[in-house]
Chain A
Amino acid sequence: MPGLGTSFGRGAMTTALWDVANADVVVFMGSNAAENHPIALKWFLRAKQKGATVICVDPRYTRTASKADWWIPFRSGTDIAVLGGLINYAITHDKIHREYVVKYTNASLLVHPDFRFDDGLFSGWNEATGKYDQATWAFQTGPDGQPLADPTLEHPQCVFQHIKRIYAPYTPEKVSEISGIPVAEFIRFAETVCATGAPGKSAVFTYAMGWTQHTKGVQNIRTATILQMLLGNIGVAGGGIAALRGHANVQGATDLAVLYHDLPGYLGQPNEGHQSLQDFLAKTTTRNSYWENKPKFLISLLKAWWGEHATAANDYCFDYLPKMATSETYSHYDIFQSILDGRVKGLVVVGQNPAVGSANARKVQAALAKLDWLVVSDLFLNETSEFWKLEGMNPAEIQTEVILLPAAGPLEKEGSFTNTHRLIQWKHKMIEPMGQAHSDGWYMVQIGKRLKQLYAGSTAAKDLPIKHLVWDYDDPNNPDEFDHLKVLKEINGYDTTTGAPVTGFGALKDDGTTACGCWIYSGIYPEEGVNKADARLRAAPNRPDGWTEARADGSADYLHLGWGFAWPANRRVIYNRASADPTGRPWSKVPLVWWNEAEAKWAGVDVPDMLPVAPDQVHALGVRGDSPFIMKPWGLGGIWGPLPDGPLPVHYEPKESPTPNLLYRKQGTIPTMKIYDSEFDVWGDPQRFPYVATTYRLTEHLTSGVMTRTLPYLAEAFPRHFCEIPRELAQLKGIRNGDWVEVESARGKVRVQAMVTNRLRPLRVGGRETYVIGLPIHWGPKSGHVQGDITNTLTPQAVDVNVQIQESKVFLADLRKVEVGG
């Protein structure tokens, strides 16, 4: 999540669900938590029960909207316009938390004098390469290397003045024209949110895929982080950005870097520009922050992977790591494009169903048919393993060898998940795997062992990373499982001479005497036999209705420090240093941490997110005791946050949009957006495809439905695919509830049943009536007890430059009735 990482230093939800109950204002925007994170909603409703105002900004009247005090419908894809309008309102009405902004963020820093923003483009844009040169986005520094700043925030080159200027056109009237939110309603919304700019008040913004699945997804999130910093709402009780992740272990799979661009613990995957370990560290280490320790974390990772073979003399086997081409990305959608291009020939898919779950699904299916081989590990048959049975496929012509491994179910194995608020919890095996099924981990161990055997006789340099790989995970008690605790210990880290686990990442070294698979998880297995993920000490309830609430005197362990283990270092609310004023006194009504003068240390209800340094001192790493974002340079929150698509978020229209950009004439869509070049990548215009379509999830199902349409209760609870259609549009089209309709985009069609509804309303956009229709994504034609057409047949592969996520929350479609429902 580079949106959060760029602003605060860590790509993760900033708070814990338990702390949400302390909020004064809860904003759901890009999240339908009631439906997609149903039990999490309880904590937001506890805030409401304690007097918070709950607002749901969503194109649809969702189950979350039904629980909110207030629903604000708007046009999908205009989030930055709305949030930019809030930023403008906070600044023009002087609602910002000034001391927080000046001391805790980079708002006062001076930007390069040549920085410009003009009609939708930042300085440095290169039309030929389609990229920004970020030189003019840098901070000005003095001869001592320290940044130049103006704490009065008046200097015309300071960050604050830039945002003031850039968001000035985001007036309530302009926001209304773009988003469809009436002016008076927008102003009331702005008033409510900006009232939390006062010290001791807080708002939490909650998002999920509604913000990420856009060509400017990262910038959607960035806009909220800027607003929240201006209001002083990050790291304080009841504040934060609640990023509600999708699957059970998205956070963990991301932390452990099953992702092309990263190594475990966010160390980054090296590219061709990195010639040596030293070069990589020099170029990628964030100075004047806790990241100064990166060499310890990376060298410990290399020790964990290549053991005794990794020595100081050979750069700890840094050469063994694959180096990305600087000009390429290797993301989900690049994989399918590269299969079509003939570069990728073999694909391993574990617990995922890209033939249904990926945008432009027909392209993905066509790519699968081009593979030499495909391995799928899953509990169930799905459209990926059985792509050759899909409509339009001729098996006789498909040369792909497909091997299916039966995966052990979630109740059939030991292991840990990391939940949405970074909480790692251990799961115990309830029953033995069914049939011949084995865990995916065991399969990996076995495949690795076989590869080591196959390469045992090789002397080629390219095979040494496998030959030398530390790969000894057999469970001495069970040949059909791997040794989970051994893996956990490696993730935690250990002393390479004694073999004893390290107690935390503070103990890691850059001299090869420690090994560690994922430094941020360090502390999870602090001594032999102690698994903190398996800790289950819940705080005593202190409310008559049975839950544990924060107390003003800091006496209640409402963050349940004894339940599971949260990275980093068991902190529950990250950046919690910001909950205290610069001198270390809590300014929130509920304290999180404080400077204990008598004992000269940080103390708190939470584990303090601060280095051991007094508020008026500077730590040796360059982080000051009064600056809370220790992973960012100088500990300052990144209101200014250079990313490949800009240092600040500004409004652009989606790739497929019914209206031109009403703020910037020259630049309609985000200039850095990536699209692909294949026969499947085709685009619709508003004349041919007049309606805005959006996609979403339901409580009863999960993504492609392979884990839910296969369970009889859930298949029965929500058996059929449908399209939500606003009543007014249905009338225009002569469509009634239950009729079969065809929804078509430039990329394909689906046949689903009509659900005529008031939950979607016509919006007035750019002076015209605009209709939004909605489709859930959970059906496929082959898997499960109930089937349906694949919604992703319609969605485009237009992706965000930062994370290569697709724009499936908004695209253009047409709609027609094909059969009367019965």
Chain B
Amino acid sequence: MNLNRRAFLKLSGVSAASAAVLLFAEEREALARDLKASRITRAREVPSVCPHCSVGCGLIGYVREGQLVQVEGNPDSPINEGSLCPKGAATMQFAYDGVGRPNPLRQLTAKIRRPGSDRWEEIGIDEALDRIAQRIKETRDAGFVEKNADGLVVNRAESIAHIGSACIDNEECYLITKLMRALGVVYLEHHARI
């Protein structure tokens, strides 16, 4: 197996099911051997943090030619000192399935389910974002409570709620809080409450 073959499997539009057919047992073994032998040669080390629980174990990603070849516990981290629990050890599978193919369950495109429909339809990212902004505006404008019964300005967009998340970054959380409060959203929550 050469790198191009693997890269093909990772990057091509080949669906997970057909990729599984393409990979016969010997091929898998060869791939596994090959990955093991060469995995981190000339790879760039990228430090990160485990996305599962709140312990904050350090990760090191090994990246070569834009491909992630391995994720390990960061031995320099004074928290985990290199070790990871099963969840941390599986983080690479957010991207790949363990033998170098994209995780087949990842959603890679925007989708819409129309009222009354029993299926998803593909939609472009820009179109999806336009639609979301429109719907937020229309719902906000229809249900906005500008003043309460006493005439006090309360600026509440009571018809919209936002949930999430404790799985995303601080910078992202900050943007959510800022935008939602500017819209007047009062129903604003994340995992902490459950």
Contacts and interface: CB of A to CB of B under 8 A. Distances in A.
Contacts of B111: 403-404
A252 B166 CA distance: 7
Given A441-B171, A784-B105, A410 B51 contact: yes
A663 interface: no
Contact of A347 (B52, B57, B106, B161): B161
B26 interface: no
Given A428-B46, A454-B134, A272 B154 contact: yes
A303 to B, nearest CB: 13
B54 A245 contact: yes
B3 interface: no
Interface string B152-174: 11111111111111111111111
A444 B107 contact: no
A305 B53 contact: no
A600 interface: no
A375 B11 CA distance: 28
Contact of A247 (B110, B132, B191): B191
Given A18-B78, A410-B91, A428-B46, A258 B113 contact: no
A491 interface: yes
Interface stretch (A182-190, A665-673, A799-807): A799-807
Nearest to B97: A712
A441 B175 contact: yes
Contacts of A453: 133
Nearest to A480: B125
A547 B81 contact: yes
Contacts, number: 494
Interface string B126-157: 00111111111101001110101010111111
Interface string A363-391: 00000000011010111110000001100
A398 B173 contact: no
Interface string B79-122: 11101111111111111011000110111111111111110100
A314 to B, nearest CB: 12
A471 B182 CA distance: 11
Contact of A331 (B48, B52, B189): B189
B185 A322 contact: yes
Contacts of A756: none
Given A39-B79, A247-B167, A437-B108, A713 B93 contact: yes
B163 A427 contact: no
17 contacts: A38-B55, A42-B80, A248-B167, A264-B177, A272-B152, A331-B189, A348-B161, A350-B168, A402-B112, A411-B48, A419-B79, A431-B61, A431-B67, A451-B133, A707-B167, A784-B105, A805-B193
Max chain B C-beta neighbours (<10 A), residue from A263, A349, A406: A406
A811 to B, nearest CB: 15
Interface string A424-437: 11111111101111
Nearest to A318: B153
Interface string A148-172: 0000000000000000000000000
A377 B162 CA distance: 11
B178 interface: yes
B179 interface: yes
Interface of B: 46-58, 61, 63, 66-68, 71, 76-81, 83-95, 97-98, 102-103, 105-118, 120, 123, 125, 128-137, 139, 142-144, 146, 148, 150, 152-179, 181-194
B169 A406 contact: no
B166 A253 contact: yes
A787 interface: no
Max chain A C-beta neighbours (<10 A), residue from B67, B86, B102, B192: B192
A352 B190 CA distance: 8
Interface string A331-345: 110110011000111
Given A248-B53, A434-B102, 12 more contacts: A42-B80, A254-B192, A259-B193, A260-B187, A346-B136, A347-B160, A351-B167, A354-B194, A398-B115, A401-B135, A404-B113, A430-B63
A812 to B, nearest CB: 20
A416 B170 contact: yes
B159 A249 contact: no
Contact of A400 (B56, B66, B115, B178): B115
A447 interface: yes
Max chain A C-beta neighbours (<10 A), residue from B103, B118, B190: B190
A405 B194 contact: no
A19 interface: no
Max chain A C-beta neighbours (<10 A), residue from B58, B109, B152, B186: B186
Given A253-B173, A346-B139, A450 B78 contact: no
A802 to B, nearest CB: 11
Contacts of B188: 258-260, 330
A539 interface: yes
Contacts of A751: none
Nearest to B108: A435
B106 A536 contact: no
B129 A443 contact: yes
A484 interface: yes
Contacts of B186: 260, 269, 322, 324, 330
Contacts of B164: 258, 348-352, 377
Interface string A31-61: 0000011111010000000000000000000
Interface stretch (A66-74, A288-296, A697-705): A697-705
A703 B191 contact: yes
A406 B171 CA distance: 19
A249 B169 contact: yes
Contact of B92 (A260, A411, A439, A461): A411
A465 B184 contact: yes
A158 B78 CA distance: 44
Nearest to A806: B194
Contacts of B56: 248, 417, 419-420, 423, 425
A234 interface: no
A395 interface: yes
A359 interface: yes
Contacts of A395: 116-118
Contacts of A427: 47-49, 169
A325 B148 contact: yes
Contacts of B192: 245-246, 250, 253-254, 259, 803
A347 B131 CA distance: 14
B132 A403 contact: yes
B8 to A, nearest CB: 16
B191 A380 contact: no
Contacts of B179: 444, 447-448, 451, 469, 471
A253 to B, nearest CB: 4
Nearest to B86: A700
B108 A406 contact: yes
A603 interface: no
A312 interface: no
B50 A248 contact: yes
B19 to A, nearest CB: 13
A513 interface: no
A477 B179 CA distance: 23
Contacts of A380: 105-107
A332 B194 contact: yes
B116 A398 contact: yes
A322 B162 CA distance: 14
Contacts of A378: 107
Contacts of A461: 146, 153
B157 A322 contact: yes
A171 B90 CA distance: 48
Contacts of A700: 86-87
A381 B107 contact: yes
Contacts of A490: 174
A641 to B, nearest CB: 20
A373 B152 CA distance: 30
A319 interface: yes
